[in-house]
Structure 1
Amino acid sequence: MRTVLAWTDKIVSSNGPLPVYDLAFKPDASQLIVTAGSELLVYDTDKGDIITSLKAHKATIYCVQFSADGKRFATGSADKQVIIWNSDEFAPIGKYSHSDSVQTVAFSPASGVILSGSTSEVCLWSAEQKGVTRLKVNSKVLTASWNTEGTHFALGHYNGVVSIRTRTGEETTRIERGPNPVWSLSFCPSQDMLAVSDWSQQLAFYQLDGKQVGKERPLGLDACTISYFSNGDYFVMGGQDRKVTLWTSGGIKLGPVSECESWVWCARVKPGQNYVAVGCQDGTLSLHQIVFNTVHGLYHDRYAYRENMTDVVIQHLSTQQRARIKCRDHVKKIAVYRDRLAVQLSDRIIVYELTHDDATDMHYRIKDKLLKRLECNLLVVTAEHIILCHDMKLQMYNFVGDKVREWSLDAFVRYIKVVGGPRAHEGLLVGLKSGQVLRIFTDNPFPIPIAKVSSSVRCLDLSMNRNKVAIVDEQNVVSVYDIKTQELLFQEPNGNSVAWNSEMEDMLCYSGNGLVHIKSGNFPAHQQKLQGFVVGFKGSRIFCLNVYAMTTVDIPQTATLENYLEHRDFETAYNVACLGVTDADWRRLAMEAIEGLSLDIARRAFVRLRDLPYVDLLRTFERAKAEGKNQPDLFLAEVYAYSGRYHEAAKLFKRCGHPEKAIEMYTELNMWAFATQVAEETKSNPTDILSRKAQMLEDQQDGAAAAATYMDLGEYAKAIDLFVADMAYDKLIEVVRKVDRSESKILSKCYDVFKTVGQYDYAAETLVKLRDITHLLELHIERQKWDEAFKIIKIHPEHAAQVELPYANWLAANNRYIEAQEFYRKVGRLDEAFRVLENLAQTAIVDSRFDDVAFHYWTLAHEQLDRIPADVEAAHLDEVEKVALASFTKHLELAEIYYAYHHVRKFIHDPFTLHMPESLLNMARFVLQWGVNDKPLPPGVSKAHLLFAAAKLGRALGANKLSQTCFEGLSHLRFPFQWTEAVEVGAVTIRGRSPIDAENLLPVCPSCMTIGVLLDDTGPRCRSCLEPTVWSFYSFDALPLTQFQPEHDVSSSEARHLLSLDPRGGKAIVFGGEDDGPSWRDLVEMGGKRDESEDVDGSRMLGGRWRDHVDASPHNNSSGKSKSSKQPRRETVVKSSETLASNGGNLSDRHLHGLLKSNMSAFDAPRLSRKEMQAIPPSQSFVVSWNRRCIADRYYRLVVAEAPISMCLTCRHFFHEEEWIHHTRTTGACPFCRASASRAG
């Protein structure tokens, strides 16, 4: 170890030198901050130049420290302030105060918390918290340190106490060291070990729990500072003795780093580097570099080196075993020789020896100690002596410590090496600065010159047989001399170290410029990339020292082997191979030795490879040669055959008259094509070879190859069996492609196999070759490959029936029922179409998908409608058609019920709905009125759900009577438990309301203006005139539509024509009499306005959405006076004279007359003449026609023209025009039947 002064500076002011109380390195080591009175000086670490000075404190600054990330640093001063600085801008970013001068600051390495100490308190500050945590102490805090994890910190007090606390300040351990102040302590970075030194001049180590580690060590000084290296292996200490010394982490003193002229207040290690900055009382600031020299020794494959300055590690480079000797002192020199190990310490030399006579033993014991302080440059050890080199002298001591001999040389010794020899007669190689190389024997006082180079010797080595010496000089030239003749054999440039191979005389290696060169004999050297210095060469391993690490590198000997093989020097090539080559190199040596007829070398090489067939072959040839059967071509042919050079072997076999051996060779190698070629050349039968090939392959369990051979022979049945046994179906298809179509038996067998194992593509290909369309379609149907099936029937339409019905079933099973219907119709299986739809509807009921149920029943109704003839009266329908008609009516009714129920149920179970409460109430009424008179509801329709929804909506909308009725009905039904509270509360609260329904909710008959009730046991029709309610199938409002019929002599087509004409003009006349009262037509024309005093025939407002249009009509007479209900007001209606002439009476009169005549049992729509129908505007008339004579057309007139109506042309349901437009534009389809907007009209 040695130190180098990097730079120094003297900090002075006008009043004299300024003491350097503290300094701190930035974590990236680029800057050094130094306290100088009340200022801070920022230095460039590399150059020692001052970057800037910082002023913020008003008194002397005692302490400074950086944060772990380097972004901030903190300073403490005698002005009682702690200032936090930004390290980039050198500006204060915060501060806090103490009650006394601040003696120490310390940053937590983990969290950035600042710890500061003064006479009476300790403060903890962090950027995250606003305030400062203050902890009272009984004695002045002199120093502080955090552990690496930032979980604990230690405080050194003036009264000799060391306090270890948690990050929050809670004291966990208290160490009483006596009355002497603790000025220095520090945590080791690599472990939670605390080094403490007080002014009792003792050094101690403690764990976090306060347990002392080892004994206290005397210092001989009052320490003021301790600073660890970044890796925690060493620390430096300084104080009153005016020195900075280096210590190991175990407390062993290694030596001085710096000697100063005054007290050392602070010494800090540069992060990540071996530099120490020192600050003194006299203002001296200096930076010192510590150079750790490599101390090591090598002998063959035993390498010893110093670690942590006090330990010796012995490494066996071949086995990679290691042994450690802890010397607990500064290790200065190490020497290794055979079983000896010499270690020079500060005041003695210890000689160790192996405990066992084993080449791989790593257990050492002390043999002798030389208790002398001996200074030397180099140290070597022999079996019985220690040899020290000091400048131009060599001194030899025995292990007792007596000087045995001394050699005085003419120049400084640069290199010394023990090269072995008898015990106590070992030889040394010595290289001098003058370039002289000497051989010295321990029993001879006279050195022997053996060579001389032009410049100083850097490295040298002796060959295995001690015949040659290799020397590296200061010019990096490698020179090799013959020792006996002292002749220069050769020189090589660019070398810094050299080593002979310890197992081969003529092989050496040398390193330089990042390369290692291996030279053998007189051949050119070959090179390989390698960093470091070559220190040993054994076999194929090179021992290389790179900085402080010794590495073992395996060097391939292939290039050297090639050189000797090219020169046919098989003996030396064998010796090179023994150093360590690959099996491929051994084999190459053996084969070239055979070709060179060096059979002994070849046999030894094959023995190394453990290749017994070649060994047996060589012995066979040797026996044949001994018997006089010397056939070199036959022998080489056998060798070529063994080595894989088959074609060359075959040529030699044929040339020497043994073609059968060539055929046998190719046969055993499965090289049948070449075997056949040889057979043809020798006029043998190739078929026999193929048969043998197939049989042999079959015996070898290679079924696929055997089958292929049988195919070549035309034996397809055997090939099929073998392919099936091996499951080689990709090979089996080759049979199908190869055989002729006439081989139907073979093809059918292949088809059966393919179908059985699921190889359908191959099965289909087989059927295509057989032209078996029926089975091919069956295969596609089974695999549901419908595209392929339809491609086939497009070519072969006669097979269409085979595909269409299974395809229809598949469509139905995959919910593609519309397409399925088309195919069912196509094949005439309407029963299957209906069954599928029924199943879909039932499944949807089970899954509570009632919108799908409605759609399926509508589809069923539409399908049944298609079965009804268009031009047959109801009385002339056959039984099947009557069933279809009844089914149409039933399914259409069910579709309507499920459609309305879907929205009611969705209102109960879903949090949101698109429909208004009035619409949902009407839907519930619609379904409930369908089930009047104990008529059972359809499957899946819950009466409890309907009553619960109606009760809930009725209570919210003011339909109190309806709500009360529904709650009473719920009391007799089972309903979900979670409804219990809502039902009970609703039933109680509804009783407190008036048992009437809100007028705006009550239905109004558009024909007779009678106001009905919300839940009528007679069903959805007017109680007075029995006019059926026409619902909007989106909002379920009662639409202002009245039903009429044409006169008996007017046909349906004529009625449609009349309704499509525009009304003709005429003279305006009064329609109606004083005693008659206004008819529905009059009310419509006038807007339906009555006096407030009128009775139920006209006194109430019209119900539904359309009554708003009626009230807003311009015909409303708001200025008339009220009259008695017994004298109804006369109203005028303007109609054409032609219409009046043919009217013959009031429509309402006809309606009422029809009711009286039918005894109020059924509704009979009034009949209109041609004139009356022609008088209705086309936009106000609707015809519901299913285009079947057995289903009567229904005619409707819009009573309120301001409330336009739309009708779906597919399902024939009515909607408010704005609802229809909105929904079709949003979804593109009818809400009920889901027909597209283009089809629905």
Structure 2
Amino acid sequence: MMNGVVSIRNKNGEEKVKIERPGGSSSPIWSIAWNPSKDEHNDILAVADWGQKLSFYQLSGKQIGRDRTLNYDPCCISYFSKGEYIVMGGSDRQASLYTKDGVRLGSIGEQSNWVWTCRVKPDSNYVVVGCEDGTISCYQLNFSTVHGLYKDRYAYRDSMTDVIVQHLITEQKVRLKCRELVKKIAIYRNRLAVQLPEKIHIYVLKSEDPTAMHYHIKEKISRKFECNLLVVCSQHIILCQEFVGATDPKSSRLLMAKQADWAKSSKEPRAAAEMYLSAGEHMKAIDIIGEHGWADLLIDIARKLDKAEREPLAKCAYHFKRLKHHGYASETYSKMGDLKALVELHVETQHWEEAFSLVEKHPQFKSDVFVPYAQWLAENDRFEEAQKAFHKAGCQDEAVKVLEQLTHNAVVENRFNDAGYYYWMLSMQCLDIARESEDKRDEMLKKFERFQRLAELYYVYRSIQRYTDEPFSSHMPETLFNICRFLLNNLTKDIPPGISKVNTLYALAKQSRKLGAYKLARYSYEKLQELHFPSRLLESIELGSLTIRSKPFHDSEDLIEGMMCYRCSTNNPFLNSQGSVCINCRQPFIYSASTYEVLPLVQFYLEEGISDEEALSLIDLEVPHSDQKNAPGHVVDNGEPQSLKLEDDLDNAEEDPFTAKMSFEQGGSTFVPVKVSRSVLRSMSRRDVLIKRWPRPLKWEYFRSLLPDVSITMCPSCFKMFHSEDYELLVLQHNCCPYCRRPIDEPN
């Protein structure tokens, strides 16, 4: 605080420790920082105040050591990630590096204004400095090796302010604390010279024993020297302004490599690695660094290497992968320009977003990413996403296998809505394969037809299963009545797994009785008596079979009229062993995919030689009759669901060429489709036509509305048709098509 006090409080805000700096308000405290090191025995708090002092305290409030004089007003203090160094800055207009004990090691960078903030990037040697004038500077600190070697004695700098002397034979070590930055080290026989910022210390061994390790200071030279190399002799020191052997780089590297070999054999891997780097032996240095897991040092090497040095870069990337440093490995492969290795890295480490981003720029790696991604999804039971990934990768066979597994699971688990959706996806997958592969076209088109049929059967059975298994049903009796009849009309001898004929007949019997179709209800109960049904339904079926006998032996006339064929006006029975077709003209019925009422649509076909594009253009060329110019209704066809809006007053059947084409020979046993010529197409109103625009190799399907007052909407994805009001309500409820689950905001 500004009064020179540091208050240490618990998480509830209660003060536990109070530290008062000498000088009080004349020493306001501008920055504090906890040492993040996990190796310290106590929590250590560094305090920088404008009495120009740096001090250290334990959590108890006890000061550690003496105050360090700064000679400037400190504004910021920041520890390295492991707590080994401190960065400070302030009114001296520079950021400085200190040891964890507060010994100044040197300037990181001079600025033109006060330094107000400084931060160290975690687990790295990068320092960012912010100044009063708004400028931000970033520095990378390189801690070079300072060392010396003479026969069996090796001396090197440690923690920037200490010197460790190691006997390479006995492996004994001794630490000399200099408490200042060690700049140069030289060793010869029994002498050791250490250059500090403002002086040089000369140490000698206390004993002549060749294994002795006890050094003491013999001389202090209090003078600042600038030199490239320090050499100590028996009676003198030599300061070299140019590096010895600089004229012979090969010899210099050889010497450095031998020193590195010594360091490696003496179990000083970090020193050995740095010497190998100085000698240009990158591969040896990288192996040592990688084996010891020093990722920070390794990335520094990778960043300094030229991108053409592929072998050492590849070795760096290998170690990053092994050490699970995905970011560093990615950076290295990117520098090399090795896109394939980069893709493999993202895949192996399951960094899928990075892999997808790379594939967007380089689509040639699509299969390298999406195939393993799909396999990973499948292994994690995310089959639906796996199918889409296989499909995106172009692996159609795998996509189909995953979908088949999904469908099987859905049926086994009685998730019939999902089963219907997966069968629809399977059918579209088969259509994709048929379009891309001529060899498989016939086989895939047959599968497409089968899967389309199964998709609709499971889609409708979902409602029956919910009615029989759950206490409440969201469907109106008329809808369940229609669904049961549709399902029974379309079930062959081979009933798909999971679909129960018992449940279907039971639901039909109940709804038939409720709606007055007593004859159909009696038939349903009789059929149920021929089947094996669960004991839970026994009482209800037997009671229903008895009570239905008290009802009339006929069906409601209103229900019968609802089964009229819109082509030949024949009233059809509720159940038809021939399927969902008219018993008279064999015209297939078109159902609403919500209520399964028969829609007033008749499918027609194009005469030979008329293409889909030509047919569309002929219909679009329609010139309205004089009495139709103001007729209400329209079809919107802009990629969204096609909506057929027809309201009233279009009674021109005697003038309509299409109506003439609907005629057929009575009593025929084969279906005669409605085929239209160019003149008939030209006479049609685009408002009256719905088109299923199937992708190739399928042909488009055309439907003509015969009731102007019925509004019909078709999904542009699955081509299922609905009463418009039903479709709009379902889409609002689910935000997607209820059949194919196409999102409402998805472009067509």
Superposition TM-score tier, normalisation by shorter sequence: 0.5 to 0.7
For residues 206 and 258 of structure 2, what CA distance do their matches in structure 1 show?
A: 19
Query: Could you tell me whether the CA contact under 8 Å between 1:834 and 1:860 is conserved in 2?
Result: yes
Query: Could you tell me whether the CA contact under 8 Å between 2:383 and 2:406 is conserved in 1?
Result: no
Query: Could you tell me whether the CA contact under 8 Å between 2:603 and 2:701 is conserved in 1?
Result: no
Q: What's the CA shift string for 1:824-863, capped at 9, x where partnerless?
A: 34xxx44344344333333333343333332333233334
> What is the match of residue 122 of structure 1?
none
> What is the match of residue 1016 of structure 1?
576
Q: What's the CA shift string for 1:276-331, capped at 9, x where partnerless?
A: xxxxxxxxxxxxxxxxxxxxxxxxxxxxxxxxxxxxxxxxxxxxxxxxxxxxxxxx
Q: 1:942 aligns with which of 479, 500, 505?
A: 500
For residues 720 and 1173 of structure 1, what CA distance do their matches in structure 2 show?
A: 78
> What is the match of residue 823 of structure 1?
392
Q: In the superposition, relative to structure 1, how do residues 833 and 1044 fare at CA in structure 2: closer, same or farther (>3 Å)?
A: same
Query: Could you tell me whether the CA contact under 8 Å between 1:694 and 1:705 is conserved in 2?
Result: no
Q: 2:351 aligns with which of 782, 785, 806?
A: 785
> What is the match of residue 392 of structure 1?
none
For residues 697 and 315 of structure 2, what CA distance do their matches in structure 1 show?
A: 62
Give runs of aligned pairs for residues 475-874 of structure 1, distance below 5 A.
659=204, 679=232, 682-683=237-238, 707=273, 723=289, 726-737=292-303, 746-768=312-334, 770-789=336-355, 802-803=368-369, 806=372, 815-816=384-385, 820=389, 823-825=392-394, 829-866=395-432
Give the CA deviation at 1:780.
1.9
Q: In the superposition, relative to structure 1, how do residues 1001 and 758 fare at CA in structure 2: closer, same or farther (>3 Å)?
A: same
Q: What's the CA shift string for 1:722-765, capped at 9, x where partnerless?
A: 54554444444445455666766555544444434433334334
Q: In the superposition, relative to structure 1, how do residues 734 and 846 fare at CA in structure 2: closer, same or farther (>3 Å)?
A: farther
Query: Could you tell me whether the CA contact under 8 Å between 2:604 and 2:702 is conserved in 1?
Result: yes
Q: In the superposition, relative to structure 1, how do residues 783 and 967 fare at CA in structure 2: closer, same or farther (>3 Å)?
A: farther
Query: Could you tell me whether the CA contact under 8 Å between 1:1209 and 1:1239 is conserved in 2?
Result: no
> What is the match of residue 556 of structure 2?
998
Give runs of aligned pairs for residues 12-31 of structure 1, distance below 5 A.
none
CA RMSD, 1 decimal: 5.3
Q: In the superposition, relative to structure 1, how do residues 730 and 655 fare at CA in structure 2: closer, same or farther (>3 Å)?
A: closer
Q: What's the CA shift string for 1:1019-1073, capped at 9, x where partnerless?
A: 222223333222101111112334455677977666656655355359xxxxxxx
For residues 400 and 194 of structure 2, what CA distance do their matches in structure 1 show?
A: 83
Give runs of aligned pairs for residues 316-327 of structure 1, distance below 5 A.
none
Q: In the superposition, relative to structure 1, how do residues 782 and 846 fare at CA in structure 2: closer, same or farther (>3 Å)?
A: farther
Query: Could you tell me whether the CA contact under 8 Å between 1:824 and 1:833 is conserved in 2?
Result: no
> What is the match of residue 892 of structure 1?
452
> What is the match of residue 438 of structure 1?
none
Unaligned runs of 5+ in 1: 1-581, 586-640, 669-673, 871-876, 1067-1108, 1116-1132
The one-letter code matched in structure 1 to 2:727 is W
Residue 881 (structure 1) aligned with residue 441 (structure 2): yes
For residues 175 and 691 of structure 2, what CA distance do their matches in structure 1 show?
A: 102
For residues 605 and 363 of structure 2, what CA distance do their matches in structure 1 show?
A: 51
Unaligned runs of 5+ in 2: 1-61, 66-173, 182-191, 218-226, 245-251, 628-645
> What is the match of residue 717 of structure 2?
1210
DSSP 3-state at the match of 2:713 = strand
DSSP 3-state at the match of 2:581 = coil
Give the CA deviation at 1:1211.
2.8
For residues 743 and 661 of structure 1, what CA distance do their matches in structure 2 show?
A: 49
Bigger radius of gyration among the two: 1
Query: Could you tell me whether the CA contact under 8 Å between 2:302 and 2:332 is conserved in 1?
Result: yes
Query: Could you tell me whether the CA contact under 8 Å between 1:764 and 1:776 is conserved in 2?
Result: yes
> What is the match of residue 671 of structure 2?
1163
DSSP 3-state at the match of 1:944 = helix
Give the CA deviation at 1:925.
1.9
The one-letter code matched in structure 1 to 2:389 is A
> What is the match of residue 704 of structure 2?
1196
Q: In the superposition, relative to structure 1, how do residues 717 and 1034 fare at CA in structure 2: closer, same or farther (>3 Å)?
A: same
Give the CA deviation at 1:821.
6.5
Give runs of aligned pairs for residues 181-192 of structure 1, distance below 5 A.
none
The one-letter code matched in structure 2 to 1:896 is E
> What is the match of residue 600 of structure 2?
1040
The one-letter code matched in structure 2 to 1:922 is N
Q: Percent identity?
A: 30
For residues 500 and 214 of structure 2, what CA distance do their matches in structure 1 show?
A: 89
For residues 282 and 608 of structure 2, what CA distance do their matches in structure 1 show?
A: 86
> What is the match of residue 476 of structure 2?
916
* TM-score, normalisation: structure 1: 0.35
Query: Could you tell me whether the CA contact under 8 Å between 2:506 and 2:525 is conserved in 1?
Result: yes
Q: In the superposition, relative to structure 1, how do residues 920 and 952 fare at CA in structure 2: closer, same or farther (>3 Å)?
A: same
The one-letter code matched in structure 1 to 2:464 is V
Q: Indicate the structure whose relative CO is greater, using CA pairs within 8 Å and at least 6 residues apart.
A: 2
Q: In the superposition, relative to structure 1, how do residues 841 and 1189 fare at CA in structure 2: closer, same or farther (>3 Å)?
A: closer
Q: In the superposition, relative to structure 1, how do residues 690 and 751 fare at CA in structure 2: closer, same or farther (>3 Å)?
A: closer
DSSP 3-state at the match of 2:440 = helix
How many residues align structurally? 516
Q: What's the CA shift string for 1:776-829, capped at 9, x where partnerless?
A: 32222222334444555677676666446555666786634686376334xxx4
Q: In the superposition, relative to structure 1, how do residues 950 and 698 fare at CA in structure 2: closer, same or farther (>3 Å)?
A: farther
Give runs of aligned pairs for residues 192-271 of structure 1, distance below 5 A.
none
> What is the match of residue 166 of structure 1?
none
Q: 2:730 aligns with which of 1206, 1216, 1223?
A: 1223
> What is the match of residue 515 of structure 2?
957
Q: What's the CA shift string for 1:625-670, capped at 9, x where partnerless?
A: xxxxxxxxxxxxxxxx9996767999999999855569967899xx
DSSP 3-state at the match of 1:815 = helix
Query: Could you tell me whether the CA contact under 8 Å between 1:1208 and 1:1240 is conserved in 2?
Result: no
Query: Could you tell me whether the CA contact under 8 Å between 2:605 and 2:673 is conserved in 1?
Result: yes
Give the CA deviation at 1:930.
1.0
Q: In the superposition, relative to structure 1, how do residues 955 and 1179 fare at CA in structure 2: closer, same or farther (>3 Å)?
A: same
| Higher helix proportion | 2
The one-letter code matched in structure 1 to 2:518 is N
Query: Could you tell me whether the CA contact under 8 Å between 1:741 and 1:769 is conserved in 2?
Result: yes
Query: Could you tell me whether the CA contact under 8 Å between 1:808 and 1:823 is conserved in 2?
Result: no
DSSP 3-state at the match of 1:925 = helix
Residue 1064 (structure 1) aligned with residue 637 (structure 2): no
Give the CA deviation at 1:987.
4.1
Query: Could you tell me whether the CA contact under 8 Å between 1:951 and 1:962 is conserved in 2?
Result: yes
The one-letter code matched in structure 2 to 1:1163 is F
Give the CA deviation at 1:1227.
4.1
The one-letter code matched in structure 2 to 1:1220 is Y
Q: What's the CA shift string for 1:1101-1138, capped at 9, x where partnerless?
A: xxxxxxxx99xx999xxxxxxxxxxxxxxxxx8766xx
Give the CA deviation at 1:922.
1.4
For residues 728 and 1043 of structure 1, what CA distance do their matches in structure 2 show?
A: 74
